Amino acid sequence: MLSRPQRNVVFAAAVFLISCATNQAGGPRAPGIPVVVTPSSARPGDVVRVGYPHGDLKSRHGLHATIGDQTAVILRVPDDDFADIIVPIVPPDTAAVVVGDEDGTFLTGRLYVEETATVLVVLALPDSVPQLLRVVASVDAATGDVLSNEDRLSFDLVNSSNVVVHSCSVLDPLRTPGELIAPSGPGGVTASRQGMSADPTVTIRLPRIAGTGTLSVFQVPPGVDVRTPGGRARRIPITDIVVTF
């Protein structure tokens, strides 16, 4: 019968052998096979390429990727030399890029994630006066002007130098109670009323600017074209909201 010290030695040896067998069977390699990510910096929503010219990944099936702590969508794997990946929304900083296959092989690279180009601004409209609910990063294009002659809300984003850097408009959900979805150019869904007892909300996407900006909100009467100087002059001011980017 083995003594306690002898049993400890046998146990340690068994653990070592199991560990070796697992690694040989295709377990994760640490810290992974270093690869190049191009470009070396990108915004969320951009596509980056992870190259592995030596055929390091043994399988093109079951590929998965992460950037930072977020799962990244693999857009395509054109051949055995590289994969194209969509950068998810992660905080701006240098992030680890990891691509793995179903055999347990991992590739690792680095990417500097830049600020998103736009932010999603959500406003509530209690008592007809817009109030800021939240500002979150967005990968979609900035909201444009809704092509309608109905009552609308118009927005000017003004930077710290008092320069209008963006202008957009949406249908006014308070004056269009039957409105559920208001397409507004490239910005997508912008105005909604979830129920007659709920405060309407307006969602717009604005270009990200440095620091803080002022969001000036206007009421637009029916028939006014806010894309012309004369139409912009006919807008009725409602309020100004400070937005921190």
Averaged pLDDT in 10-residue chunks for the chain of 245 residues: 46 39 40 87 94 65 88 78 88 94 86 95 88 93 88 95 94 68 41 54 92 96 92 96 94
**pLDDT at residue 9, rounded to an integer:** 40
Helix and strand element counts for the chain (H, E) = 2, 17
**pLDDT at residue 39, rounded to an integer:** 97
The whole-angstrom separation of Cα 173 and Cα 195 is: 11
Neighbours of 11 (CB within 10 A): 10
The whole-angstrom separation of Cα 20 and Cα 62 is: 24
Neighbours of 238 (CB within 10 A): 17
Domains (ranges, CATH) in the chain?
A: 31-113 (2.60.40.10), 118-244 (no CATH)
Closest CA to 62 of 105, 95, 109, 18: 105
Composition of the chain by helix, strand, coil, percent to 5: 15, 45, 45
Backbone angles phi, psi at 8, to 5 degrees: -65, -40
